[in-house]
C-alpha cells in the first residue's frame, strides 16, 4: 500500500527532469567579441563560439546598440542559419563564419561590453556579453 502511495509522487518528480538526459536544449556562447569598424559608420564584426547539448540552429543575432545584425559565412556570403551538433563547438572566426553589426552605436568604446542576443530555431534566445575591441583586434592584442 505504501509503495502504491509513493508511486504517483515519484512519477511527478521524474517528469520534472533531474535524471538522465537533459530534455531542455541549451546553447552556450563563449569568447564573444565585437570589433569596432576601422572606418566610422561601417559595420563591426562579432566573433564567438557556440556549444549545444542538443541539435539546434542559429537563425539570428541582435543587439540593442546595432541597427541590424547579419549572419555571414566565409567570403562575406549572407547565411540564414547555422546548424549546431551536440558536443561539437561551432566557432565564428575572422575569415569564416561571423556576424556583421550595422549601424553600431558610435558611443561604443574599446573595453566596454555589448549585449548580443542569439535566436535559435525552436529554442529560447540566449544573451551574452561581448567585449568591444579595436578594429582588427580579435585576439585581445595577443
Say which residue, 2 or 128, is predicted with more confidence: 128
Residue 17 located in a structural domain? no
Domain presence at residue 2: no
Q: How do strand 27-35 and strand 126-133 relate by DSSP bridges?
A: parallel
Judge contact between 82 and 60, C-beta under 8 A.
no
Q: How many domains does the chain have?
A: 1
CATH code, domain carrying 45: 2.60.40.1890
Q: Is residue 13 part of a domain?
A: no
81, part of any domain: yes
Q: Is residue 142 part of a domain?
A: no
Residue 56: inside a domain, yes or no? yes
CA 113 from chain centre, in angstroms, equals: 15
Give me the domain span that covers residue 98: 24-133
**In a domain? residue 41:** yes
What rounded mean pLDDT belongs to the chain?
A: 85
Determine how many CB atoms are found less than 10 A away from the CB of residue 89.
Answer: 13
Rounded to an integer, what distance in angstroms lies between the CA atom of residue 45 and that of residue 39?
A: 13
Contact assessment for residue 42 and residue 15, using Cβ atoms and an 8 Å cutoff: no
**pTM (2 d.p.):** 0.80
Q: Is residue 82 part of a domain?
A: yes
CA distance 142 to 140: 6
How do residues 35-58 score in pLDDT, each as one tens digit? 999 999 999 999 999 999 999 999
Amino acid at each position: 500500500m505504501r509503495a502504491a502511495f509513493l508511486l504517483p509522487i515519484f512519477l511527478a518528480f521524474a517528469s520534472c527532469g533531474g535524471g538522465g538526459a537533459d530534455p531542455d536544449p541549451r546553447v552556450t556562447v563563449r569568447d564573444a567579441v565585437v570589433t569596432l569598424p576601422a572606418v566610422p559608420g561601417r559595420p563591426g564584426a562579432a566573433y564567438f563560439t557556440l556549444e549545444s547539448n542538443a541539435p539546434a540552429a542559429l537563425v539570428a543575432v541582435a543587439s540593442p546598440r546595432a541597427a541590424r545584425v547579419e549572419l555571414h559565412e566565409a567570403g562575406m556570403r549572407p547565411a540564414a542559419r547555422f546548424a549546431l551538433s551536440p558536443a561539437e563547438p561551432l566557432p565564428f572566426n575572422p575569415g569564416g563564419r561571423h556576424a556583421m553589426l550595422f549601424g553600431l552605436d558610435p558611443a561604443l568604446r574599446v573595453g566596454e561590453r555589448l549585449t548580443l542576443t542569439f535566436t535559435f530555431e525552436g529554442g529560447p534566445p540566449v544573451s551574452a556579453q561581448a567585449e568591444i575591441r579595436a578594429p582588427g583586434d580579435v585576439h585581445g592584442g595577443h
